[in-house]
Chain A
Amino acid sequence: MAEDLNWAIGGEAGDGIDSTGKIFAQALSRAGRHVFTSKDFASRIRGGYTAYKIRTSVDEVQSVVDRLDILVALTQRTIDENTDELHDGSAIIYDGERSWDADVPEYVTGVDVPLKSLAEDAGGAIMRNIVALGAACAITGFDVEYLDEALEKRFGGKGSKIVENNKEAARLGEKYVEDNYDLGLGYDLETTDNDYVLLNGNEALGMGALVAGCRFYAGYPITPATSIMEYLTGRIEEYGGHVVQAEDELSAINMALGSARAGARAMTATSGAGIDLMTETFGLVAASETPLVITDVMRSGPSTGMPTKQEQGDLNMALYGGHGEVPRFVVAPTSIDECFWKTIEAFNLAEKYQTPVFLVSDLAMSVTEQTFPPETFDMDAVEVDRGKLVDEGDVEEWLDDQGRFRAHADTEDGVSPRAIPGIADGAHMSTGLEHDEIGRRTEDTEVRVQQVDKRNRKVETAREREEFDYREFGDADADALVVSWGSNEGALIEALDSLEKEGVDLRVLSVPYIHPRPDLTAEFEAAEDVIVVECNANGQFADLLEHDTLTRVKRINKYTGVRFNADELAEEIKAKLTEEVPA
């Protein structure tokens, strides 16, 4: 991989850290560089500290690493939090005129820039972070003009004067460093003619929902799912849809269910305690055979846990949540672009099989932005399959001898015809009670068994018809097999690259389908070592795979609230390879 640069800005909440970071990330993306951003890391000291990190390269980047090259520190705390990652080629940009005395580690180059004074010269102290961006441009050999477009995007709504002032602020920062320092740190950010878009997992997921025809979204605010709701608000209306902020998650999922019964493609999304409340309705969605996409953007639990931290702790909840036996699909996108594609697939699965689909993402994916060529989101490849939706002409075929619509007809593939309100002669009731083909309550033993089997058969049919496959990376013949689910994929791919250089070969399987899922028995048998990587303490996915394959696996679990980074993962994999397989 080409040389990467790791940049960060840190300060206190309210310092405009996120928006400044985003401007720099966008500028890098516009300059044809790949970008991977992160905001989800632990504070080593106490709350209140916030930072935005960017890893950038002309090659694809999909993980954070342990190294920091340029740090814009608005507080001493920012320096203290990051000393481990700074090295002798690093530079810290700080404002020596501010009240705090910057304590810069001796091996790091301090770049003292009067951020506030220069910002005032450009029109206002509020622009001091932009001055810092200009300074960063000077240190990294990155043309300050690339910031312009991002500044226009960010401040365009506030008028051209504000935009011009910001551009000036950046230039003053750049000039100050050029005039006063001769650093020779050797950074020279290459640019390319490539066009990239920069987006996070929740944006990709929301965009997927829109193009898949989702027209109704009901939700109740909760981090980190809220940004899906915010993305859809203001956009879904363009397509005739609507977003409702419900009074709670009990209501949100039932509103979405009502919408789906009325024939719309509907979704709800939540996290943490919200998915607990929604559990109440999982069984109804399945029993009434309603196509519904239920998104869980996992965060750290249990209870309120660490609400802004990463965890993949809800796998069992997605698989088993709800009393009784609830047939379902569980799909967990493994990367930001896959959040787009798997959302579209989730809507198709829901309608083709008239079954709840759990779309499971996580906090790390939801807040991380990554660059992609726009054609990654090839809209011509988007397919909408509404399954056995019947129109007026087909209804006749599905009436019983008394003219009643068989909404739960026991078919060979388990999927029944679906009539939506307004279709003549299709009127029928659906219910959470066990029912017969026309939706009438029953406790008849034969009918009960028929309906349970029929609902389960839909998932079996899908297993035959769909490709629930894994994504594979690395060396297919390697003895060591590493398996992961959800957002760990990017860090794994990068760990793979670095281990390869050290002569350690790995086969990596990244599994987006949790239920139904690929059978890994043959893959496990072919491997000498199997390591399952996931962000939880108990190894929920590892348990599942051990059960599937009747093989013991080694486990790498992280539950600090911080996602894996590539360097750490590479070290842990190396260590695991020398360990004995658990008895």
Chain B
Amino acid sequence: MSSDVRFTDFKSDKQPTWCPGCGDFGTMNGMMKALAETGNDPDNTFVVAGIGCSGKIGTYMHSYALHGVHGRALPVGTGVKLSRPDIEVMVAGGDGDGFSIGAGHFVHAVRRNVDMTYIVMDNRIYGLTKGQASPTSRSDFETSTTPEGPKQPPVNPHALALASGATFIAQSFSSDALRHQEIIQEAIEHDGFGFVNVYSPCVTFNDVDTYDYFRDSLVDLKEDGHDPTDYEAAKTVILDADKEYQGVIYQDENSVPYRDQHGLTEDMSDIPAGAPEDAMDLVREFY
């Protein structure tokens, strides 16, 4: 990886079509800066994008990338990383993509602890389909499909991650550019599954979880003196439903990534031009 990579190298020449003011602009900028800052370049980076407004990120960034099926971004990222330990893998998608249709994969991706970064662009709404309730929407949040609100509690992504055995859990806010980038950098550098939920406001369909709301309510865990290696402290933060916060909530310093658990070191793209030398041994097993 070359050291002279600039974050703009991760930018494609396609102009984003997000609504002006959409949180996803800031979320993406932070991702690109963090990737460049951690020494990656587009040819050694694989971005997997979900489906949603958020999923358009695959088009607006420049790298090897796949924009796949709604909810299945994490499995794709897992396949890439396990086959190519040399490639930096970043998966990004919406709150619906990650915690509704893809919730099953989230739990198991967390458990597997594959060394990749997962960015959820959480706007607490379905943006692309024009404003239906998402799994992180408030229980009284009125939408076209939930006129009186969903009447069920929102998913707590951090709690879900912690319960699944996460080794890195963080929260950032797309408009706090410096902290957002810093937090994503830490997730990239974490040796294991780095999960960052990003408040990434939808200015068109969500008039509750707005920039002003987050600016007013966010507590920065770093300033608050929170120790992310303290599991009990992390638990307290995560289960406090009344608070919004940003920062690294939990990090297991003894994280053993999937790669090391399973002794994966090989570049699986490298295969011989014919059967391996000892292939007849496979046949002889059947004597």
Contact = CB atoms under 8 A, between A and B. Distances in A.
Query: Do A and B truly interact?
Result: yes
A194 to B, nearest CB: 12
Interface string B52-69: 000000110011111111
Given A198-B286, A374-B284, A402-B13, A384 B42 contact: no
B76 A429 contact: no
Nearest to A218: B79
Contact of A430 (B66, B84, B264, B274): B66
Contacts of B12: 429
A206 B46 CA distance: 29
A30 B287 contact: yes
B68 A379 contact: no
A242 interface: yes
B72 A250 contact: yes
Contacts of A240: 266, 268
A355 to B, nearest CB: 16
A229 to B, nearest CB: 15
B1 to A, nearest CB: 10
A568 B14 CA distance: 65
Contacts of A13: none
A266 B79 contact: yes
Interface stretch (B29-37, B181-189, B222-230, B275-283): B275-283
A500 to B, nearest CB: 32
B79 A257 contact: yes
A197 B78 CA distance: 37
Nearest to B87: A421
A219 interface: no
Interface string A185-227: 0000000000111110001000100110101101000000000
Given A211-B279, A427-B62, A384 B273 contact: yes
Contacts of A383: 273-274
A419 B271 CA distance: 16
Main secondary structure of the interface of B (DSSP, over half): mixed
B82 A422 contact: no
Contact of A207 (B83, B269, B282): B282
B9 to A, nearest CB: 10
B43 A379 contact: no
Given A281-B72, A427-B62, A429-B66, A374 B79 contact: no
A215 B282 CA distance: 16
A377 B75 contact: no
Given A255-B76, A258-B77, A384 B272 contact: yes
A281 B69 contact: yes
A382 B59 contact: no
B120 to A, nearest CB: 17
B84 A263 contact: yes
A244 interface: yes
B44 interface: yes
Nearest to B47: A429
Contacts of A284: 68-69
A260 B264 CA distance: 17
Interface in A407-430: 419-430
Nearest to B62: A427
A216 B268 contact: yes
A413 B63 CA distance: 27
A427 B43 contact: yes
Contact of B44 (A213, A421, A428): A421
B270 to A, nearest CB: 8
A210 B84 CA distance: 18
A239 to B, nearest CB: 6
B262 A242 contact: yes
A422 B43 contact: yes
B225 to A, nearest CB: 37
Nearest to A252: B75
B82 A199 contact: no
Given A240-B268, A281-B72, A429-B58, A255 B79 contact: yes
Contacts of B274: 379-380, 382-384
Interface in A226-252: 235, 237, 239-242, 244, 246-248, 250-252
Interface in B14-44: 14, 42-44
Given A197-B286, A199-B286, A266-B83, A429 B268 contact: no
B105 interface: yes
Interface residues of B, number: 58
A557 to B, nearest CB: 33
Contacts of B264: 242
Nearest to B264: A242
Contacts of A195: 287
Contacts of A424: 43
Contacts of B260: none
Interface string A283-317: 01000100000000000000000000000000000
B80 interface: yes
A260 B65 CA distance: 13
A526 B66 CA distance: 50
B75 A262 contact: no
Contacts of A197: 283-284, 286-287
Contacts of B84: 262-264, 421-422
Interface string B233-263: 0000000000000000000000000000011
Contact of A384 (B14, B104, B271, B280): B271
B82 A259 contact: yes
Interface string B107-127: 110000000000000000000
Contacts of A280: 69, 72
Contacts of B276: 210-211, 239
Interface string A148-171: 000000000000000000000000
Nearest to A430: B66
A116 interface: no
Nearest to B274: A382
B148 interface: no
Contacts of B170: none
A431 B59 CA distance: 9
B69 A264 contact: no
A474 to B, nearest CB: 30
Contact of B269 (A262, A374, A380, A384): A262
A39 interface: no
A254 B75 contact: yes
Given A215-B271, A258-B75, A210 B282 contact: yes
B43 A258 contact: no
A251 B105 CA distance: 7
Contacts of A254: 68-69, 72, 75-76, 79
B75 A429 contact: no
Given A198-B286, A250-B75, A262-B79, A429 B279 contact: no
B272 A377 contact: no
A544 B264 CA distance: 45
A261 B75 CA distance: 12
A440 interface: yes
Interface of A: 29-30, 195-199, 203, 207, 210-211, 213, 215-216, 218, 235, 237, 239-242, 244, 246-248, 250-252, 254-266, 280-281, 284, 288, 374, 377, 379-380, 382-384, 402, 404, 419-433, 440-441
Given A199-B286, A261-B46, 11 more contacts: A248-B104, A251-B108, A252-B75, A257-B79, A262-B81, A374-B280, A426-B64, A427-B62, A431-B58, A440-B14, A441-B59
Report, nearest first, the 9 A-B pairs whose CB atoms are least far apart.
A258-B79, A263-B269, A240-B266, A213-B271, A254-B75, A197-B286, A429-B65, A258-B76, A264-B268
15 contacts: A30-B287, A250-B75, A252-B75, A258-B77, A258-B78, A262-B80, A264-B269, A265-B271, A284-B68, A374-B287, A383-B273, A383-B274, A422-B44, A427-B65, A431-B67
